[in-house]
Amino acid sequence: MPRRKRHVESASEESDNSNGNESEEDHPEQTTRMTRRSAASNTAQHFDTLPLPKRRRIVREPAVSGSDSEETPEIQASKANEKNKQQMSRGKAKKKTLSEGKSVHFNGDVIDEEDMDEENLMGLTERRATPKTNYDETSAHCPLPGCDSKGHLSGRHESHRTLTSCPLFHNTSAEECKTRFESRAKHTEDRKRVLAESKDRRGLRQLVPSDSQKAKLEKVTKARSKKPEITEEVREEHRQHKQKYGNSRQPLITGLTSDYDYELFREAQARACELLKGLGMYSFSFGQQEHQMTQHFAKTDLQEYRIKKLEIGCFEINTWYSSPYPEEYARLPKIYLCEFCLKYMRTATILRRHMAKCLWRHPPGDEIYRKGNISFFEVDGKKNKVYCQNLCLLAKLFLDHKTLYFDVEPFLFYVMTENDNSGCHIVGYFSKEKNSFLNYNVSCILTLPQYMRQGFGKMLIDFSYLLSKEEEKVGSPERPLSDLGLLSYRSYWKDVLLDYLHKYKGQEICIRDVSQETAINANDIVSTLQALGMLKYWKGKHLVLKKQELIDEFLEKKASRPADFANKVIDSSCLKWIPQNKRGSPS
């Protein structure tokens, strides 16, 4: 069988000009296949006399022999072995060149021995070593300021790296933790020895306590009965500890209970920490959670995890409750809101840039009421979803019971604004369902803190009942009401009923008629009359007592109100609104 003709691959000019038909007998020195890297090592020896080699493109010539289908299995096996040897020779040649410190070719570039530093090699090699992460516990440190990471709450280990296992965080020391661990281990050994020495195992399961158990129970009962007195010195010590460390330490519990219960609690803490460590929960998942908790603990500067302040318009307001803002905003101690579109931002700079571009100067929707500088806008939750969601998130900062944040499409929002040359500034709002099964005329109501105690709350309530009158319905607010909301509604119902009774001249009165004329639910009327002491039951009938002193007090209070409060009254003639059930379908 004739020998196959080989193509000699080289980076030198001689190899490029060769015809590929010469046999190995004519050139016995070329016993191995030459490559670009092996040729580069030979060329580097004559680097001082030869010019810098240019990068040449190697063109592979097609094989002259027959197709692969004509090759026998023996030839294919020999070709595979030859290819493996060539790859091994390439790797050896590269390692040898690097170890000898000679000039090296990387992709046609030549580097001298003087330039052979680690930086150049790392810049030319294609693969770099991946840095390994050290997960050894001794390489980590406790995040608590002032802690040297020595000791462990369980007493079993010499170091710690989390707040859960930090002795200093739990107001103890490493020596005390170690002493408790030794005492706990001794108690466990004693118990095992007692169980091992017991011959009759059934005697341990008897219902009647033994003498030793009775003695121990009596001892524990006596120890628990010795509760320390919480004196003013103890209170002052706890107060100073709280002022000094805040949330960076566990609160003091000394002097609050008996010594037995105190030691029992300490032992439970240590055993829980030891159990978590023994289960390996610190290794990955629990360790990550603990690390995230400690990082959050450090980043929030020992403060409660919620938004503390809110800047809207020219007001900076302290918030009352938490609100489900996105996490990147909930971490901030203060957020900034555009008072027109209610978009929330992180910094004052972003707010300033937003205000320069924001085109809104009033809430979206239709203006249905205007008198003086007071306006009401009806905003559909389906048409202006983002605005209504932002409004609900804002309200949650001041309402504890609010649960609706994002599902705003079934609701209508009525936003009250105070107008000036710069725009319509939000004062408060209330929302109501488009189709309420229980005829609630208010689902949520809020007056912003900067506008409280100025009469705006009663205007919101009065406006909600005005809409109920236009709908020819009797309404009531959705329960539960907040504390401030209940006070506002009680005050409004009282004023409306006293004013109605003052103008009423008849001898008999019907609760149903009062409900129809005022649009207030009959149950709310009855509860208000009972609170005023004006509803009595006599001889099988309910009587409404017209207390003139209460009416006179109401009239006197009404007359003594400042002019600002006198002007803050809803005028039904200024309402330009058609109820939903009377509106025609859009063409």
Quote the pLDDT of residue 575. Answer: 94
Whether residue 463 is contained in a domain is answered as yes
Q: Same structural domain for residues 291 and 368?
A: no
Per the prediction, the chain carries an average pLDDT of: 75
Query: Is the pLDDT reported for residue 128 higher than 60?
Result: no
pLDDT band at 429 (very low <50, low <70, confident <90, very high): very high
Q: Same structural domain for residues 393 and 244?
A: no
Quote the pLDDT of residue 341. Answer: 95
Q: What is the CATH number of the domain that holds 412?
A: 3.40.630.30
Quote the pLDDT of residue 524. Answer: 92
pLDDT band at 584 (very low <50, low <70, confident <90, very high): low
Quote the pLDDT of residue 84. Answer: 61
Whether residue 322 is contained in a domain is answered as no
Top pLDDT among 449 and 34 is at: 449
- The answer to whether the CB of 343 falls within 8 A of the CB of 312 is no
pLDDT band at 349 (very low <50, low <70, confident <90, very high): very high
Amino acid (1-letter code) at residue 567: N
Q: Same structural domain for residues 230 and 365?
A: no
Query: Is the pLDDT reported for residue 262 higher than 50?
Result: yes
Q: What kind and span of H or E run contains 433?
A: strand 423-433
Alpha helices in 358-407 (DSSP H): 385-396
Least confident of 70-79, 131-140, 198-207, 241-250: 131-140
Quote the pLDDT of residue 275. Answer: 74
**Token pair of 318 as six digits:** 């302290």
Query: Is the pLDDT reported for residue 220 higher than 50?
Result: yes
Q: Same structural domain for residues 245 and 173?
A: yes
Query: Is the pLDDT reported for residue 307 higher than 70?
Result: yes
* Span 72-106, pLDDT tens digits: 555 555 666 666 656 555 555 544 444 444 444 44
Top pLDDT among 78 and 335 is at: 335
Top pLDDT among 422 and 580 is at: 422
Quote the pLDDT of residue 379. Answer: 96
Last residue of a domain, one of 299, 320, 350: 299
Mean pLDDT of 471-489: 89
Q: Of 441, 445, 467, nearest to 456 (Cα)?
A: 445
Q: Same structural domain for residues 96 and 242?
A: no
Quote the pLDDT of residue 300. Answer: 43
Quote the pLDDT of residue 439. Answer: 86
Amino acid (1-letter code) at residue 200: D
Quote the pLDDT of residue 389. Answer: 94
Mean pLDDT of 234-258: 80
Quote the pLDDT of residue 18. Answer: 43
Q: Same structural domain for residues 293 and 406?
A: no
Mean pLDDT of 32-54: 46
- The answer to whether the CB of 450 falls within 8 A of the CB of 415 is no
Top pLDDT among 275 and 264 is at: 264
Quote the pLDDT of residue 350. Answer: 94
Count of domains for the chain: 3
Is omega for the bond preceding 364 within 30 degrees of 0, making it cis?
A: no
**Token pair of 108 as six digits:** 């046609």
Quote the pLDDT of residue 517. Answer: 92
Q: Which residue has the tokens 């007001």?
A: 315
Q: Same structural domain for residues 100 and 249?
A: no
276 Cα distance to chain centroid:
25
Quote the pLDDT of residue 449. Answer: 94
Alpha helices in 533-567 (DSSP H): 548-559, 563-567
Q: Same structural domain for residues 94 and 180?
A: no
Quote the pLDDT of residue 425. Answer: 95
Quote the pLDDT of residue 374. Answer: 94
pLDDT band at 51 (very low <50, low <70, confident <90, very high): low
- The answer to whether the CB of 452 falls within 8 A of the CB of 463 is no
Whether residue 202 is contained in a domain is answered as no
Q: CA-CA distance, 18 to 182, in Å (whole number)?
A: 85
Q: CA-CA distance, 93 to 99, in Å (whole number)?
A: 10
Q: Same structural domain for residues 372 and 457?
A: yes
Mean pLDDT of 226-252: 80
Q: Same structural domain for residues 271 and 387?
A: no
Whether residue 166 is contained in a domain is answered as yes
Last residue of a domain, one of 98, 124, 150: 124
Quote the pLDDT of residue 80. Answer: 62
Residue-wise burial string across 537-562, b where 16 or more C-beta atoms lie within 10 A, e elsewhere: eeeeeeebeeeeebeeebeeeeeeee
Whether residue 520 is contained in a domain is answered as yes
Q: Same structural domain for residues 38 and 109?
A: yes
Domain extent, residue 532, equals: 361-579
pLDDT band at 417 (very low <50, low <70, confident <90, very high): very high
Query: Is the pLDDT reported for residue 270 higher than 50?
Result: yes
**Positions marked active-site:** 478
Quote the pLDDT of residue 3. Answer: 53
Query: Is the pLDDT reported for residue 363 higher than 50?
Result: yes
Query: Is the pLDDT reported for residue 375 higher than 80?
Result: yes
Q: Of 288, 251, 291, 278, nearest to 154 (Cα)?
A: 278
Mean pLDDT of 30-45: 46
Quote the pLDDT of residue 192. Answer: 83
Amino acid (1-letter code) at residue 104: V
* Span 291-302, pLDDT tens digits: 444 444 444 444
Quote the pLDDT of residue 178. Answer: 86
Last residue of a domain, one of 270, 299, 328: 299
48-57's contacts with Cβ under 8 Å and 24+ in sequence apart are: 52/110, 53/11, 53/108, 53/110, 54/108, 55/107, 55/108, 56/11, 56/16
Strand partners, 24: none
Q: Same structural domain for residues 40 and 84?
A: yes
Whether residue 339 is contained in a domain is answered as no
Query: Is the pLDDT reported for residue 514 higher than 60?
Result: yes
Whether residue 34 is contained in a domain is answered as yes
Q: Torsions phi, psi of 163, nearest 5?
A: -70, -30
Top pLDDT among 179 and 204 is at: 179
The 8-class DSSP code of residue 187 comes to: H
Q: CA-CA distance, 29 to 460, in Å (whole number)?
A: 103
Residue positions counted in the chain: 587
Most confident listed range (63-67, 227-231, 554-558): 554-558
Whether residue 346 is contained in a domain is answered as no
* C-alpha dihedral, 174 to 179 to 183 to 188, nearest 10°: 40
Top pLDDT among 213 and 520 is at: 520
